Structure formats: C-alpha cells, structure tokens
Amino acid sequence: MLILSRKKGEAILLDGGIRIVVLSTENGGARLGIEAPEHIGIVREEILERGVTDQVEARPGGDQGPGGS
C-alpha cells in the first residue's frame, strides 16, 4: 500500500488515465474527486460489501458508466 499526504487541490495520478483530486478536508474526512475514462467503473467499497454491484457512482456530467442509464 502506498500512503500519501495531499492538500486541498492536490492530485494523485494513476495508470490508465485516472486522476484523484482532494476537493476538501474537514472533521477528519476528505472529499475526493475522481476523473477516469468512461470504460472504468467507479464503485464505493461499502456498496460492493453489500453485494450490490449494479450501483455505480455517478461521474461528473451525469454519466453512470457501464451498466448505468
């Protein structure tokens, strides 16, 4: 596991055109923005843990990604 510290506005770039940006931090939590190609699904871990794999997080612009409407 890679552990990084990032401040508001700073980003992490991943292979495959994925960019994670820290939007804000407060009360011990962080709001993240994730930019990824349309073919990359983005799912919150707790959704997968509940066994509900057809609920994919909405992307900027309202695109639901694979399986979305």
**Where exactly are the structural domains of the chain?**
1-64
Nearest partner of 42 among 24, 16, 22, judged by Cα? 16
CB 34 within 8 A of CB 56: no
Residue 6 pLDDT: 93
> pLDDT tens-digit profile of 38-62?
999 998 888 888 775 454 554 455 4
CB 45 within 8 A of CB 30: no
d(CA 33, CA 50): 23
Average pLDDT, whole number, for the chain? 81
CA geometry: angle 7, 17, 60, nearest 5 deg: 70
